[in-house]
Chain A
Amino acid sequence: MSIAETYNITGFRKNVTEIIREVASKERSVVVTNRENPQAVLMPSKYKTLAEKRVRYSTWMALMFTERFLPDAPAHLKEPQIVELEQLRPDKLQAFLAVDRLPVSKQLRPRIERAIGKIILQRLERRHRIAKAIKEAESQGLYDAVEHQSGEVDLT
């Protein structure tokens, strides 16, 4: 399972229609960068209601980063992640803008750990790992198959 896609400004300009369609249909955010520095995030319109409700900036950021790092995860993995990230200050959360994959690379890890804490990063990576395993099994239709097998378990 990947995290949200990143586009540089030139690539974004070229493919803007397609990117918007993708954000809307897959309900996934994309990050726009300039010279590798994150500049903006394009999010699905489902977050519009949150904007109208004037939710706290940290809630916005928590939602955005959860969508970015756990885009295909089931709600029972996303929700604890949002709750956890909401507790962090927005300036700390901004460190996540530099993260383009999970687990975080060795080079980047010290910087992210300094900003958000080692434990919070480990917990995010663990949820990402679980989400990846579930997504893979779901995409191959393995749950239906294994649940069918469950009825064949020898209990005599």
Chain B
Amino acid sequence: MMQAKPYKIAVTTVDSVKRRSFGWLATGGKPFVQLDPADIDDDLVDSVFNLYKTVYSQINPTLFIRDKYALLKYTRWIILIDDKKLVAGFLLCREHKNGIKLGLTAAADSKEAKKAVVELNRKAFNVAGVFGEVSPPLEKMLKGHVPELKASDAAKVLQPSKEIIRVSKDGKHYWRDIKNIGE
């Protein structure tokens, strides 16, 4: 069945994250608004891209994603707005053969926004059918709050694209080669 409106975008407030459940991230239902790529508001893309640039340039001033439209690889967006209706955080995900894969996340430079984005990630990882890979800094924030997969199963979940995985001795972590980053 062809999807005329494959993008699903939800805008919610920073304050609402704590009391919300996010099962709809996997089902694609409401409060997601379904959109055709040609109808996605440029102002919204600009706002998300600006926050991406601000946050990710602190990790590396040379941004990997330099074209705002490249963010549209991700087809499910949860956008958090503050009380001034400014974008304060986001979680961008994409549909994967094995479920919904979390892709990019960011929070504006405020305690409330960061707390909400951590909570959002924790809740998202607890939704059945949603998965993702995290590096040590985010892992610390999520540990004990989200289900973990054995590293030896990672290759199966990440297939077909990421087959070369080296499992660490603790059985919980793995290495894989990432272009532009290394192992």
Contacts and interface: CB of A to CB of B under 8 A. Distances in A.
A149 B138 CA distance: 10
Interface string B37-52: 1100000000000000
A83 B138 CA distance: 40
Given A79-B4, A130-B37, A142-B65, A153 B70 contact: no
The contact size tier of chain A is: 35 or more
B5, B103, B135: residue with the most chain A Cβ atoms closer than 10 Å: B135
Interface residues of B, number: 44
A146 B64 contact: yes
B179 interface: yes
B56, B64, B135: residue with the most chain A Cβ atoms closer than 10 Å: B64
A134 B107 contact: no
A138 interface: yes
A126 B37 CA distance: 8
B118 interface: yes
Nearest to A132: B69
> Chain A interface secondary structure, helix, strand, loop or mixed?
helix
A141 B117 contact: no
A89 interface: no
Interface of A: 74-77, 79-80, 82-84, 122-124, 126-127, 129-130, 132-134, 136-138, 140-156
Given A145-B180, A151-B134, 10 more contacts: A82-B2, A126-B38, A130-B69, A133-B69, A136-B67, A137-B64, A140-B179, A151-B138, A155-B107, A155-B118
19 contacts: A76-B3, A77-B37, A80-B37, A123-B36, A127-B37, A136-B67, A137-B65, A141-B178, A142-B64, A143-B103, A144-B180, A145-B179, A146-B104, A148-B135, A151-B136, A152-B135, A155-B107, A155-B117, A156-B114
